[in-house]
Amino acid sequence: MNPGRFITLEGGEGAGKSTQLRALAAALRAGGLEVVETREPGGSEGAEAIRAMLLTGGDDRWSPRAEALMFAAARADHIEKTIRPALARGAWVLSDRFLDSSRAYQGQGDLDDADILTLHALGSAGFLPDRTLFLQLPAEQAEARALIRDGTASDRIGGRDRDFHRAVAAAFVRFATTEPERIRTIDASGDAADVTGRLLAALADLLP
């Protein structure tokens, strides 16, 4: 049996993660792999319940610390109930966001990167993807795409201001720079099929 692989797609608002995850899953299935598509927050019954609380209401509904703890709890359930069982049977798991999104989004302000990683160590024993694909777009393009996609802000985190989202994008760049073995930066501009091709190329060494 081929080993299961856990792949995460990361990036800021408007980078095209959800669209590319579906296209990548289809391409991998065409190659004979079992693929599980999932997301964060969410991906299991318990994590989806937490998602509903996290993404609705006003921006001040949860304090930064409470928000980070809820994300960590959702992730622990997601790993236990969905990700690990799929990997154990040899499936490839593709997740729209994972730990690096918590580092980029919740690691602003009251909490720093070390705090988020500590929560992950406690809640999920430090479990990491086999590879993370960071979809990168210039800020202006990402903002334009997000406006076309949503018209208005889609949730309480996505609706935060431009400075917040630019800080998030900068955080993803830092992670990719410091962890190049795990995180591969993918040019998310241009034709969608071309972007999917870049994602597949970045996974070529993991494919059976």
Q: Are 113 and 103 in contact (CB under 8 A)?
A: yes
As separate numbers, helices (DSSP H) first and strands (DSSP E) second, the chain gives 9, 5
| Strands (DSSP E) found in the chain | 5-10, 35-39, 92-96, 131-136, 183-187
Distance CA 33, CA 23 (A): 14
Q: Residue ranges of the domains in the chain?
A: 5-206
What's the confidence (pLDDT) of residue 51? 96
CB-based contacts of 127, cutoff 8 Å, min separation 6: 79, 83, 120
Per-10-residue mean pLDDT of the chain, 208 residues long, equals 92 91 98 97 98 88 93 98 98 98 91 96 98 89 62 60 87 96 96 97 96
* Domain covering 5-206 in this structure, CATH number: 3.40.50.300
Distance CA 160, CA 158 (A): 6
What's the confidence (pLDDT) of residue 152? 45
203 C-beta neighbours (distance < 10 Å), count:
18
Distance CA 61, CA 47 (A): 18
What's the confidence (pLDDT) of residue 148? 58
What's the confidence (pLDDT) of residue 132? 98
What's the confidence (pLDDT) of residue 157? 67
Whole-structure pTM value: 0.91
